[in-house]
Structure 1
Amino acid sequence: MANYVFKLPDIGEGIAEAELVEWYVKPGDTVAEDQPLADVMTDKATVELTSPVSGTIVAIHGEVGQLRQIGSALVEFALEGKARAEPVEAAAAAVVPDQTPPPAPASSRPKASPLVRRLAKQGGVNLETVKGSGPHGRIRRPDFEAHVAALRVSPSADEFTESKLVGLRRKIAEKMEISARRIPHFAYVEEADLTALEGARAELNARYGDERPKLTLLPFFVQALVRVLPRFPQINATYDDEAGIVRRYTPVHVGIATQTDNGLIVPVVRNAQDLGLWELAAEIARLAAAARDGTAKRDELSGSTITITSLGTLGGIATTPVINHPEVAIIGPNRLVERPVVRSGAIEVRKMMNVSSSFDHRVVDGYEAARFIGEVKALLESPTLLLAR
């Protein structure tokens, strides 16, 4: 009997390390070739590592939540017969949260995505009791949720539970910490009268609702940004604070902060300046759906030059959004409300919105930020100008 050491493979993206998210094996387990061993996470994706050999687990290296270097030992196997002379590369299926990787050969372990496994572990659900509808019986998230609903699983009655921040949640926490620690934010809030814009939006949806994507306020905000940003190139920019370099962009790649079951994800509308109103509406809807169901591609989740973050009807009066590092600005539309406004000496009920924003004070001065938001406001308040090309 000989031993074989499986090392963390190079899984692309030029990374030097990956975080251990979950172990599926323990010492003493007998595994078959291609059986899942562990999930690891890079900055962009969760990766399921499968066994390159059949054998018995002698040792595993690393704890959940620990960062492991590429090339470091992960699993040691006891093999029957002579050990392989050549190194064996691991099969690693890169997935974003809840995306279904290619089916593995049959094994006794239920087939499921990493997200489903985490949900099952958190809820104490035995996946062997869940019927999967995917290829080769793979358990998809709807299968899991239907199973839980049928069992009427209720939350724990304990006073509190503890869980370690791992995976995507840890990445979000790290990015927010970097942004808050390294970027000197300053906030700016302006109110906008969107009565005319809301009227135009309702009219357009009524006229084209059956033929074109439904228009929310976000496509109008994106159009306003792409119209104004060419006059403020220092805002459509990123800042490499280690090198001291500001990179100003000609195209506008707008990040759309999207809440998912796993946390905040920012898919990117690329070259927004080339898209019309309904094209923007369709692309925003497509990316949001992909982010939520885990099918967004890696290149759809990076490369933004400015971000919009909106809580919709939960938007509150004002917010102080955290800049999406290494960008230098973020725009946060708040809740649209009807309130009395004085116009030409008379009180009228208007549809008003506070538009919150944050800027990197190292790159953007307060005067520039005020002018920028002022021009965005002017377009939003005059839909005729906004829609004119």
Structure 2
Amino acid sequence: MGLYHFRLPDIGEGVAEAEVVIWHVKVGDAVREDQSLVDVMTDKATVDLTSPVDGTVLAVHGEIGGMMPVGSIIVEMEVEGEGNVAAGASQPARTAARPPEEEKREEAPASPPPPAPVAVQSTPAPIKRATSRRDFETAPFAAPATRRRARELGIPLQFVPGNGPGGRILQEDLDAYVASGGQPAAGHALVERHGVGEQKIIGLRRKIAEKMQDAKRRIPHIAYVEECDVTELEALRADLNAHRSEDMPKLTLLPFLIRAMARVLPDFPQINARFDDDAGVLHSHEGIHVGIATQTPAGLMVPVLRHAEARDLWDCARELSRVAAAARSGSATREELSGSTVTVTSLGTLGGIATTPVINHPEVAIIGPNKIVEKPVVQGAFISVRKVMNISSSFDHRIVDGYDAALFIQALKRYIEHPALIFMGEAA
């Protein structure tokens, strides 16, 4: 038998370290070649690392949320044959990665005993207690310490009213449930609450936080908001959707906006660009590669619709749907999540009146359509009800002057308000 050290490989693109996201194996597991060992995250994407050999796991290195440098040992395995470690070579300390909940269990002081039930005039209903592990697995939002205490008391959390942010169940909610004999305490909404939840920011959420912080620290943003009449565009969109064939995608607002941007951006090359501020070089791109800010179960990701200038309306819609679905399912490749030259961000029906989007560094502009509303609009001597939408935008003020930002958005507005121009070979 021999010892095999699996090291964090060079994932490419200058990546020097990666974050441990989730372990698929533990000490004592028998693994086969190509079996998943661990998922790690870089600045570009999450990568599934698989075993190059058959063997038995002796040790794993790296806690979830911890950063590991390229080349460091992350899994030690016992294998048939000689392995890849010379006999007598010094070995790293063998420690098994443990879930954060287990670490907190060791560090946290013992939970205080539950308060004695208070006397009530009526006969209290019996406290509903868990009878299976499934009761706990389906429990609502609560901190690990609260879940652990509920488990010790045998109380399934789905029966406990939560009064924390977003319905989070706090220790005080659990105390009140026990004290009331299994019923919500009277006037509970007015009871003082002092719980503090803790959540370690790791994985994609940490990458998002770092990227947003870096963008705001490095880029002096200038925001510009303009109102657009989208009545004609919405009528055209509804007609095209009503008469499309079954093999054609359903059109949303975004393909129209992307096609309008593809018509306007050639006149504003400094906006379809990436700014290397370390080198002081602006890279203006002829190809229009639109980043699509997409909300996924793991957090915000920006898949890229490449070469919007070469795609018609239907092709834009089809590719937009494909890359967004890949991001949401977690199957998007590193190439599909990098290389955008300008980003579009939309909150859909939650778009609000206006937003101040954060630029996707190292780009210099981001465009955000807001919610469409109907409102009375004065047209000459008449007042009519029109469909109106604000376009919010942010620009890197080091590269784009306010005047040029306004010119760009006004040009974009013309195409949006007169969508026939999108389909003309040359704008009138």
Q: Common fold, TM-score beyond 0.5?
A: yes
The one-letter code matched in structure 2 to 1:22 is: I
Matched ranges for 1:35-114 at <5 A: 36-51=36-51, 52=53, 54-55=55-56, 57=58, 59-77=59-77, 82-84=82-84
Matched residue SS, 1:44 = coil
The one-letter code matched in structure 1 to 2:261 is: L
Matched residue SS, 1:219 = helix
Deviation, 1:33, is 4.3
The one-letter code matched in structure 1 to 2:252 is: T
Give 1:126's aligned residue: none
Give 1:252's aligned residue: 288
User: How much is the aligned-residue C-alpha RMSD, in angstroms?
Assistant: 2.9
Change beyond 3 A, Cα 1:86–1:275? farther
Change beyond 3 A, Cα 1:7–1:286? closer
8 Å contact kept, 1:193–1:350 = yes
Give 1:102's aligned residue: none
235-244 or 77-86, larger mean C-alpha shift: 77-86
Q: Distance in 2 between matches of 1:177 and 1:329?
A: 16
8 Å contact kept, 2:5–2:84 = no
Gaps of 5+ in 2: 88-98, 103-133, 143-156, 158-168, 171-195
Deviation, 1:7, is 2.3
218-227 or 45-54, larger mean C-alpha shift: 45-54
The one-letter code matched in structure 2 to 1:178 is: D
Deviation, 1:85, is 6.0
Q: Distance in 2 between matches of 1:292 and 1:176?
A: 20
Quick check: 1:331 aligned with 2:331? no
Q: How many aligned positions are there?
A: 331
The one-letter code matched in structure 2 to 1:188 is: Y
Give 1:342's aligned residue: 378
8 Å contact kept, 1:56–1:79 = no
1:127-151 Cα deviation digits (max 9, x unpaired): xxxxxxxxxxxxxxxxxxxxx89x7
Q: Which has the larger radius of gyration?
A: 2
Identity fraction in percent: 57
Q: Distance in 1 between matches of 2:214 and 2:269?
A: 24
Q: Distance in 2 between matches of 1:205 and 1:2?
A: 64
Give 2:410's aligned residue: 374
Q: Distance in 2 between matches of 1:312 and 1:193?
A: 17
Which residue of the other structure, out of 190, 200, 213, is the alignment partner of 1:164?
200
Matched ranges for 1:214-229 at <5 A: 214-229=250-265
8 Å contact kept, 2:5–2:85 = no
Quick check: 1:155 aligned with 2:154? no
Give 2:107's aligned residue: none
Q: Distance in 1 between matches of 2:80 and 2:412?
A: 69
Gaps of 5+ in 1: 88-117, 122-147
Change beyond 3 A, Cα 1:83–1:328? closer
1:299-320 Cα deviation digits (max 9, x unpaired): 1111111111011111000000
Matched residue SS, 2:358 = coil
1:144-191 Cα deviation digits (max 9, x unpaired): xxxx89x75543454265332222222111111111111111100000
Matched residue SS, 1:316 = coil
Deviation, 1:61, is 3.0
Give 1:29's aligned residue: 28
Q: Distance in 2 between matches of 1:56 and 1:215?
A: 50
Q: Distance in 1 between matches of 2:256 and 2:8?
A: 46
269-278 or 12-21, larger mean C-alpha shift: 12-21
Q: Distance in 2 between matches of 1:71 and 1:357?
A: 42
